[in-house]
Amino acid sequence: MTLRCIAPLILLLSLCSFVYAQQDTSFNSVITLREVMVQPDTRLSNRKEKKQGPDLQLSTDQLLESIAGVNMIRRGSYAWEPTIRGLNAGQINTTISGMAVFGACTDRMDPASSYIEPNNLQTISVNYGPGDQASGSSIGGGFNFKLKQPRLGNEKKLTGLAGIGYETNAHALQTLAALEYSSARFAIRGNGIFRRAGNYRIGGGELMPFSQYNKWNGGVSARYKLSSHQYVQADYLQDEGWNIGYPALLMDVAYARAKIGSFSYWYQPHSRSVHSWETKLYLNAIHHAMDDTRRPKEQVPMHMDMPGTSATAGFYSEIKWNSQTIHQVTTRLSGYRNRLHAEMTMFPDGGAPMYMLTIPDAQRTRIGVDISDKLAITNRLALITGIRADYDRSSIYTSSGEQQLSGMHEGELNRGDVLYNAYINGKYRLTDRWQLFGNFARAMRSATLQELYGFYLFNRTDGYDYMGNPRLAGEKSWNLSAGAEFQKEKIKIEGQTFLYLFSDYITGKPVSGYSVMTMGATGVKRYANLSSAILYGAEATLNAQLLSFLNIKSINTYTRGEDGDGHALPLIAPFKTVNTATATWRGYRLGAESVISGAQRHVSREAYGETAGEGYSIVNASLGKTFDAGARRWDINLALTNIFDSYYYEHPDILQLPRPGRSMAIHLTLEF
């Protein structure tokens, strides 16, 4: 984004301060600055989990991994890529407080979730389909990371948090702090974290080279109350990572930088028609550069520079309508423009440097309308229905980008797509103990800019260079799910099965007559539509307060997918069961956790380059204690992970990269 783009935005910002806005009421105010709420599928099944004090010292990736149905793809210690029921990349949406954010790396080294820290967050909400919180058309749902809101009129004017943590494996060190000032009309909050880690040791003790990382992240949010009905808020977040190793890939990362800013305006008239109205304008820019200079010479046949940028400007305006009937309608108008630029310069020994655009200046402009209606039909039956229409304009915004693609694609590169998403979620209370729920949705997504315009993007898993295809049809699916919940006193059991029927499933097909760009690559694939694919599975969770001090929790997930040619879909985690027992007594917490994963034999080497993966079993334990000292609260937490030092990996991990072996972490947190 150039200055020329920013200037009219400032103008727009000042104009929009005359526009009414609204008070956000979607989450209540019990959430304090030391917590982050993880909410899978909130409105439907009301599962939510508060992560407290010491959990702020976990990474966003670790928090995501604890959610049922979410599996992470690891390429190293840093920036794991989330999947929801095996769906990933363009099949799921990631937003930060409703803002569209897209990673800049062509090799998926920087999912948007890598630019935020739990310390920034109020809630992480997960959707498993095009539900009422997904911001944008999507097949597999998505994540919304809601940034922590400064609180007006808090009892204590000044609150804060400071923490320090150390982990033996990788000698990971981190410090974090947050401070909030609150008055009746004005509140401001700042937070920061610094993390660094060396190379970790895998199960068995071997060192994993190039698994280090360094990062800092800081955020400031300020809210000002203009009148009893309206207030404004500005948020700014900056995240900078450097010297980050990706042992599963051929290159590391020199830097990954994100600057994310927004301005919001709330209007909360509590009138008969409008309950609240929120309007937000935002900008974000991500700069990312791959780096091979730290790798030994024999691993680098040719030095190359591969920087990429992603810039997004957008807005949304959401109104919650009041109604005297059973309807509770929310409408939302949103739009953004995202520009991606990625390039590669190769430096052969004794030859001239070679330059190319790997994402040849591609942009997407989206404008969408979303209407959802929450109906309380009877006190037993509730429905949430919604439709969403998006118009996507995808194009190449420079002539050098068009010229780069002129040798690959004939005809028009620019295209427009209209997408419709519709869903109906139902919940029926059978008895006081039993509740049934189901979901039926029609979902569509546009092909990503990488899938449309990518230029020799290397996929490490199957070893192919991928070419975009501007003629791709959007991917579509019918999503069905059904489940039941049983709740009796302190036991809650929930089970759910799901089925996704895809048409125009987007995948890569080998093309002949193309020579590979990446040295050692197997061949070249071009993105293509496959007539069909199927994905199905089940999730079951149990939560029981067995004794007053003892809680047990069990999360069990299974997913299986197959494309129309009979090949197993990639990046699908096998059966996994996570069982946790937590005892709390006089401020002490004692936890034990077992994670067991089955082997994944349902893989397709031919189509997706995956190899069968072994199962594993690991055991974790933790001990914590909270001390209250007047207005201050100290928390110390000791966590022992992978106690038996097992060698293991999750199936979606790239090239079956082994995960860390035994490690002990100590976290000390002070809240005031």
Partner 1 sequence: MNRIFSCAVLCALIFAACKKDNPYPAEATGGKKIAEISQNNVTATLWADDPTLQTGYNRLYVSLKDMRDNEISNLPVSFFPLMDMGDMKHSSPVEQPLCNPQTKKYEGAVVFTMPGSGMSAWQLDVSVDGDIFTFPLAVNARTLQQSGVYVGTDAQKYIIALVPPRKWQMGLNDLDLFICRQTSMMEFPADDGFTVELTPEMPSMEHGSPNNVNPVSVGKGHYKGKINYTMTGDWRLQLKLIKNGAVIVDGAYMDVLF
Residues lying near partner 1 in the complex (CB under 8 A): 1-2, 4-5, 7-9, 11-12, 15-16, 19-20, 279, 302, 313-315, 317, 333, 335, 337, 344, 346, 348, 351-357, 365, 367, 397-400, 402-408, 455-456, 513-517, 519
Two structure tokens written together for 644 = 């038996």
Given the complex with partner 1, which of 202 and 517 has the nearer CB atom?
517
CB of 413 to partner 1, least distance (A): 11
CB of 251 to partner 1, least distance (A): 17
CB of 348 to partner 1, least distance (A): 4
CB of 252 to partner 1, least distance (A): 22
CB of 368 to partner 1, least distance (A): 11
CB of 233 to partner 1, least distance (A): 17
Distance in angstroms between the alpha carbons of the first and the last residue of the chain: 40
> Using an 8 Å Cβ cutoff, are 268 and 299 in contact?
no
Strand arrangement of the beta sheet that strand 36-40 belongs to: 49-51, 36-40, 121-127, 142-147, 93-96, 99-100
Given the complex with partner 1, which of 178 and 524 has the nearer CB atom?
524
Q: How far apart are CA 253 and CA 238, in angstroms?
A: 18
Closest C-alpha among 313, 198, 127, 351 to residue 663: 198
HSE (side-chain half, CA atoms, 13 Å) at 349: 4
What is the residue-wise DSSP string for 71-127?
A: EEE-SSSS--EEEETTB-GGGSEEEETTEE-----TTS---GGGG--GGGEEEEEEE
The type of residue at 41 is D
Specify burial of residue 205 (Cβ count, 10 A radius: 0-12, 13-18, 19+). exposed
Length of the chain: 672
Q: How far apart are CA 481 and CA 497, in angstroms?
A: 6
CA separation, residue 194 to residues 119, 191, 241, 607 (Å): 11, 11, 10, 41
DSSP, collapsed to helix, strand or coil, labels residue 512 as coil
CB of 309 to partner 1, least distance (A): 14
DSSP, collapsed to helix, strand or coil, labels residue 59 as coil
CB of 510 to partner 1, least distance (A): 13
Given the complex with partner 1, which of 4 and 586 has the nearer CB atom?
4
Given the complex with partner 1, which of 11 and 418 has the nearer CB atom?
11
Q: How far apart are CA 192 and CA 219, in angstroms?
A: 6
Given the complex with partner 1, which of 369 and 544 has the nearer CB atom?
369
> Using an 8 Å Cβ cutoff, are 9 and 337 in contact?
no
Given the complex with partner 1, which of 369 and 670 has the nearer CB atom?
369
CB of 18 to partner 1, least distance (A): 9
CB of 60 to partner 1, least distance (A): 29
User: Could you tell me where the beta strands, DSSP code E, fall in 348-377?
Assistant: 354-376
Given the complex with partner 1, which of 405 and 607 has the nearer CB atom?
405
CB of 468 to partner 1, least distance (A): 13
CA separation, residue 54 to residues 162, 494, 502, 516, 615 (Å): 11, 27, 41, 48, 29
Given the complex with partner 1, which of 315 and 649 has the nearer CB atom?
315
Helix/strand number for the chain, H first, E second: 6, 32
DSSP, collapsed to helix, strand or coil, labels residue 206 as coil
CB of 53 to partner 1, least distance (A): 40
Closest C-alpha among 641, 642, 656, 635 to residue 34: 635
Given the complex with partner 1, which of 37 and 413 has the nearer CB atom?
413
Q: How far apart are CA 5 and CA 16, in angstroms?
A: 17
Residues with Cβ < 8 Å from 361, sequence gap 6 or more?
A: 339, 340, 341, 396, 397, 398, 400, 401
Given the complex with partner 1, which of 239 and 343 has the nearer CB atom?
343
